Structure 1
């Protein structure tokens, strides 16, 4: 490979370029510079800065050649139609077979934003305007009109169609009080990417601030967009969701803000028409669900949604933990080189990473479902101890919990007015007592002006008069508020501490303080839980770990202070609530039971679904339901995958022979390379699935099915003529002493070898 189009004085071997490509795909942190330095060490020459530039130019040409070859192969195979890759991204999700039993939410995906793959915006030094304020310098980005091949990325102009204008139209169509409005209420304050003032900020240091991908439940990348000069805005999710709905149809989507995002999608004038007939459902992932309130979990957590199986909808987090290694090589790259590196990595992650581990993932999911199903006897014992006759009771418990939590959601307007009126009366009494105390202070005697104490006495008199005037103004202002509330409450005599209404309002106000202290405590505990998970996460640097450790120390002090405030508010209730300890609130963070601590208008202490044993039994019931659904889904996905492997192999073999027969041996060789790229894993997949089939409780089929999609069909081989049959020579054998024929030496051994080989071939072709 020459490093220049004309008069090249340096060349780089294709083997070196291919070695670097594969090494970088396996270790994304490795850039061009360390590899070139390694080549310099091998050849015993001094490293020069221009060598890295020459290698980069040649590597771009090499990747362009590979992309061109791949495009020609796809065209020869008839796979160059729009969105072909997306429609065939995952064999287990999309390669449907004839005679399948329909399941709810047939396709599951997950989306999320990741700001690790940022890229610095190259600019001149900062300038100063006429007022002396610093302004960003002019851009000095290199002009590069090259476009990364492939269809992984959605264009920026396509994404921008869903920006501010669409959101303004969305808000104009918002109908207060609708059923959609209540979904996910209370979760907004817990997530920064749900706050408009947070998501609308522009990062001046970066151009692309991260990526926003969508993946299927098996880890195959569907589509990705760049986040540009902003945080995680709604337009990125809208663009991805609209593209998936148009191409794939039915969609169950997991997102860390799935509760509010689902409401925004259904209210959007352009997206609502797509979601209406496509069975769209927006849900919350299992990990992020801990930070959502309990009522949101009961509606949007996969555990309580029928048809979801055991899917956790957290595939993006696993994907980011691997792709974050690209940040070291893309942070200071050009826009084209950054997108080229990301696209190359994503294709490799699909072809080698996700496809290689697909059978292992299916087997792990199946074994997990079988393990959960094995807990049915334990649930039956728990039901007997709780006095529960049938599992349908747990469904009733869940509905009761939803009704109870809905009653805690919003205070009635009349109660709010009563509490505000009570607080105003208390304030009025305090202000009146303060005014009476000031009025009772005697005004000092003011001596004659020529007396030495005249100035001091006059100043004291002015101070007392000012205090009286201020106290009177505050009393009158509070009195006006009391009178206004009396009118809004419908009149009647003014409350006094001996009245029943006074006592009732005081109890409601204490309960409100208790609930607010509980909300603050819950928020701090959930934040601490996420920080702890970040400390133990791989690829977290030393400095970041130290920073998080300091934050945890401060957070622990805040949690202890909030815990003291909560226990004080709990003790003020009548009857007092049981104080909490540190161990209890940590458990509550994972069981998501904070909402049950709230004081409702009905006593739930004796309800079976509020007891720890009852809640564990109810959760186990829903896990068993999801395990049955997971097995039903896997019983479809495993035959799909097996059929795909056989059909893909036969399809590529057919076209390889067709191209070779037509004299295009070079393109036939490229088809063979593509067949080998994934075909090398097929024996491994079958071994894993055969081992899984021996597990007790396995009910899936390992037989090849018939695909609904007929584009991989190959013509049947021509019928053979009897005249073309070749007569096989008979096996020679030596006579035996008993008059029979003696078999050749090693005959039994040959039969065993052939039998084993035949069994192996049949198992693979099955």
Structure 2
């Protein structure tokens, strides 16, 4: 840009030199050149104006005055501001008819053209200020050639001032020159205002820790610090600079990933969680090798900017046109799935996915779900789009340790099935077989297994089991027996409720994203997710693993108590509890339908009653026992003909209904083996009539019984030990919501009981609420099966059965943790060696600036490793700890690097200082073995050497 400017100046100089004296005077008068600059005006005046030393004399009315160099030092307005102000005085205010829709896009395109040089300048600035960090703003080499100086208004944390920013040789743009000095411009090409990097970094860090903090609040806080009045344009300037700063950071991160060979598609997803995905050699296979959880969250909505409502030709109000500005930016990274990938899994997009695929067999629909009890499982509720919102929330997937895997936006709808399908298909395609937790897993699991496109995906990837979907305690008891994680083999102690705890933190973003643009909302969500992965989930990973291990050990310690309970109950083996679970499942399933033979008899009886009614009506239509009614005198022929046609149509319809009913009666007679057709007075007729009379009562009793029994079983879960407060509240809310169903069933029962002969005593709501044990539920003796004496229905038996399944899951949890802990230990060591290797490599290749970026990434990652090792070493001293802290060998060879050469010691590398109290001792005292350790022969020296090696690399 500077070279082009110099070339234009030389051309102008040659053109002016070729002018005559008269042409020069006319040209000077045309351009308002003042008399103070005679013949040499082109050398002095123009240069002073362009460099901002004086103001341009653009008026004949004395509006502007020439200023000396000393006066210009105190001038607080730039040349552009003076010219704009003078122009408005001469011509008055004029309406700007341009639209604002393309202004953002123009600004985006202008910055995008300069993003490469700006990123290079930012990397150079970080390297030059590595000693002082953010404490140093302006820095350029003493030997650098200064080509120009820009007068810029600098906004810092505690001050705001004009500063002369040098433009050194090699700067392609003014914007990149400012970035090289630690300043982020607020305009694309000729920025007169710049914000320091440390100011933007402070805001970025504060907002990530407190997402409710918005730009407007921070800018007003700066105004308070500086003693300035808040202005609306200040927020706009800060927002522009902040977007540029985040884009530069994203570009710098992408360069580092490219240098490390981590720029392949889906690399982040494949390496999102060290404990889940960093597999080692010679691992023992476990069922459901990867566990994840998905759910929708409607808190992060975004309002849709639209014009006022319009009215169509029929006078109906329709939404106005969109007022969204043009902005083609997308959030950096690969957290989001595109809308196109999601729409492929809608009903309209499945045709392309299924072309040429023929499923082998149909998947049987197993069990009953809770479709009518959950709003996000109702199609009519999820199909409606919200008129006022463009984005109605997010639908993320998290691993069991809280790392975000992928996320999609819910667009103008609720939790549609296509969001779950798209996320599931992407995870299966990249990660393979998995267990999936979803609050509507009872229905979603069947939908996934029956989905032909997902079946095709499983067949293409040779997956034994595509996905198992499970849910938590909030569903009814019958649904829990099939889908609750406690009763599913291979799940361990995972409750699959990670999304709920994640949403409790991410909901704070709603305050700053509800009215943001589409890009700014997605940028805020992506930035927050990346921060939670690197700063929250990774920081707490060792603590989470340790807590899970201790919880599993605590449950395993209850095995002697369970054996005592079994002895007192006369239970020989723990396999009996498996039979009890199947009996409970069979009992609850029997309450949802009647015996088939009784159902056919009552249906046959009802069809006979209907056939008798249809015969009587048909006989009346045919004129039997129908008195003749003459037509009124004033009836015309057309009216009489229409009435005749209407009667004939009714007679034809009655005949058709009679024929269909007769065919149904004949079909039931064949299925029941009935000889002579039943008629009123027959024994079968009377018995079945009584059965139909009691049918309504029995069905009402079955429904009430199922709800009350399930409620009592769930109450026992609330009062069970080791049930946390949050889970108790969750179950209590679910019980409260289902109380409406119990009340409705109670009303139906009382109505049916009153119709019996003799009538039954009605029940009250207080009686139902007071039922705490099945022994108190006297109504069960009138049911088809009295379960009050069954061992699995007793409180002690139920506690023992649940404890049995908890012990099974605890064993699975320890087996899974024995894989995850060595993975994490190996990951920390491999990652440190890998980053150090490439840091040295880049230094040897003469790229110290990019090597410094690798060091920054290593510093951010390794700052938590000391805490991780402390927690794992402390965990290893627990009795019955069976995991290994010895470094293993990863299956993925990407992080395997050769040992450092002697020449690498000559490379100057930044150090990360370890705390003085960093643990350097092995898990047990040197030279001895913990007497409480029941792990058998363990090479303590090998453990000590491995930990010392990890600590040496980390520090």
Q: TM-score range by the shorter chain?
A: 0.7 to 0.9
1:283 to 466, 469, 472: 469
Aligned to 1:149: 332
2:820 counterpart (629, 637, 647):
637
The equivalent residue for 1:462 is none
Contact kept? 1:511, 1:573, Cα under 8 Å: no
- Alignment partner of 2:855: what SS? helix
* Contact 1:217-1:311 within 8 A present in 2 as well: yes
In 2, Cα distance between equivalents of 1:573 and 1:666: 93
C-alpha distance in 1 between matches for 2:293 and 2:919: 44
2-side partners of 1:612 and 1:552: how far apart? 19
Superposed CA offset, 1:147-172 (max 9, x none): 21110001111111111225689999
Distance 2:508 2:820 in 1: 31
What is the correspondence of 1:132-143 to structure 2 with a 5 Å cutoff?
Answer: 132-143=315-326
| Larger deviation, residues 67-76 vs 568-577 | 568-577
Pick which of 274-283 and 116-125 moved more.
274-283
Residue 319 of structure 1 deviates from its aligned partner by 1.1
Alignment map for 1:309-324 (pairs within 5 Å)? 309-324=492-507
Deviations 1:288-313 (A, max 9, x none): xx32451x322222111111100111
1:493 maps to 2:654? no
Rounded Cα–Cα distance in structure 2 between residues aligned with 1:48 and 1:629: 60
Q: Which residue matches 1:541?
A: none
Give the CA deviation at 1:711: 0.6
Aligned to 1:470: none
1:85-100 matches, cutoff 5 A: 85-100=268-283
Aligned-pair CA distance for 1:607: 2.6
1:618 and 2:801 equivalent? yes
Structure 1 residue 117: Cα displacement = 0.8
Partner of 2:842: 659
Q: 1:764 to 1:320 in 2, by over 3 A?
A: farther
- Could you tell me how far 1:601 is from its partner in structure 2? 4.9
Match of 1:34 among 207, 212, 217: 217
User: What secondary structure, in the 3-state scheme, does the structure 2 residue paired with 1:697 have?
Assistant: coil
Of residues 441, 444, 455, the one that matches 1:261 is: 444
Per chain length, whose mean CA-contact separation is higher, i.e. which structure has more relative contact order (CA < 8 Å, sep 6+)? Answer: 1
State the partner residue of 2:382.
199
Quick one: structure 1 residues 605 and 174, their matched pair in 2 at CA, closer, same or farther if it must change by over 3 Å? farther
Give the TM-score normalised by the residue count of structure 1: 0.78
How do 1:20-99 residues align onto structure 2 when only pairs under 5 Å count? 20-99=203-282
Cα distance, 1:275 vs structure 2: 2.9
1:225 is the counterpart of 2:408 = yes
Query: Secondary structure of the residue that 2:392 maps to in structure 1?
Result: strand
The Cα offsets for residues 67-106 of structure 1, whole Å up to 9 and x where unpaired, read as 0000000011110011100000000000011111000000
Tell me if 1:303 matches 2:303.
no
Equivalences, count: 669
State the match for 1:676 in structure 2: 859
Q: 2:891 aligns with which of 705, 708, 716?
A: 708
Is contact 1:109-1:251 (8 Å) kept? yes
RMSD over aligned Cα, in angstroms? 4.3
Does structure 2 retain, via aligned residues, the 8 Å contact 1:528–1:555?
no
Q: 1:163 aligns with which of 342, 346, 350?
A: 346
Distance 1:577 1:624 in 2: 45
Matched residue of 1:130: which SS?
coil
1:687 corresponds to: 870
**How far does the alpha carbon of each residue in 1:41-83 deviate from its partner, in whole angstroms, 9 at most, with x for none?**
0000000011000000000000000000000000111100111
Take 1:512 and 1:227, find their aligned partners in 2: how far apart are those partners? 41
Separation of aligned partners in 1, 2:745 and 2:867:
54
Report if aligned partners of 2:342, 2:422 keep a CA contact under 8 Å in 1: yes
**Residues 559-616 of structure 1 deviation map (CA, whole Å, 9 limit, x = unaligned):** 6565565577689799989968769759989x9x99x979875443433223332222
Query: Deviations 1:638-686 (Å, cap 9, x if unpaired)?
Result: 0100110111011111111111222211111111110111211001011
Q: 1:79 to 1:416 in 2, by over 3 A?
A: same
Pair 1:514-2:701 in alignment: yes
Match of 1:378 in 2: 561
Provide the residue aligned with 2:163 in structure 1. Answer: none
Post-superposition CA distance 1:347-378 (Å, at most 9, x none): 00100010011111111111111111111122
Structure 2 vs 1, CA of residues 272 and 552 (structure 1 numbering), >3 Å: closer, same or farther?
Answer: closer
Give the TM-score normalised by structure 2: 0.63
**Rg comparison, structure with higher value:** 2
Rounded to whole Å, the distance in 2 between the matches of 1:528 and 1:406 is 20
Cα separation, 1, equivalents of 2:290 and 2:737: 43
- Structure 1 residue 691: Cα displacement: 1.4
Counterpart pick for 1:327 among 500, 506, 510: 510
Quote the residue 1:347 is aligned against: 530
In structure 2, what is the equivalent of residue 6 of structure 1? 189
Work out whether residues 611 and 662 of structure 2, in 8 Å CA contact, stay in contact via their aligned partners in 1: no
Paired residue secondary structure (1:164): coil
**Take 2:307 and 2:713, find their aligned partners in 1: how far apart are those partners?**
43
Please say if residues 487 and 805 of structure 2, whose CA atoms lie closer than 8 Å, have aligned partners that are also in contact.
Answer: yes
CA distance in 1, matches of 2:791, 2:487: 19
In the alignment, what sits opposite 2:53? none
Deviation at 1:244, TM superposition (A): 0.7
Q: Is the 8 A contact 1:169 1:269 kept in 2?
A: no
Q: Per-residue CA shift, 1:613-632, capped at 9, x if unaligned?
A: 22221111011000000000
| Cα distance between partner residues in 2 of 1:93 and 1:478 | 64
Structure 1 Cα separation of the partners of residues 471 and 680 of structure 2: 50
Distance 1:34 1:293, change over 3 A: same
1:242–1:274 contact (8 Å) kept in structure 2 = yes
Q: Which blocks of at least 5 consecutive residues in structure 2 are unaligned?
A: 1-183, 614-654, 670-675, 717-724, 907-915, 924-943, 951-955
Shift of 1:6: 2.5
Using the TM superposition, give the Cα deviation of residue 395 of structure 1 relative to its aligned residue in structure 2, in angstroms: 1.6
SS of structure 2 residue aligned to 1:11:
strand
Q: Distance in 1 between matches of 2:495 and 2:394?
A: 21
Q: Taking structure 1 as reference, are residues 477 and 524 closer, same or farther at Cα in structure 2, changes over 3 Å only?
A: farther
> Over residues 116-149 of structure 1, what are the superposed CA-to-partner deviations in whole Å (9 max), with x where a residue is unaligned?
1111111000011222111110111111011211
Deviates more, 1:60-69 or 1:500-509: 500-509
Q: In structure 2, do the counterparts of structure 1 residues 698 and 143 end up closer, same or farther at CA, with 3 Å as the change threshold?
A: same
Q: Which stretch shifts more, 560-569 or 56-65?
A: 560-569
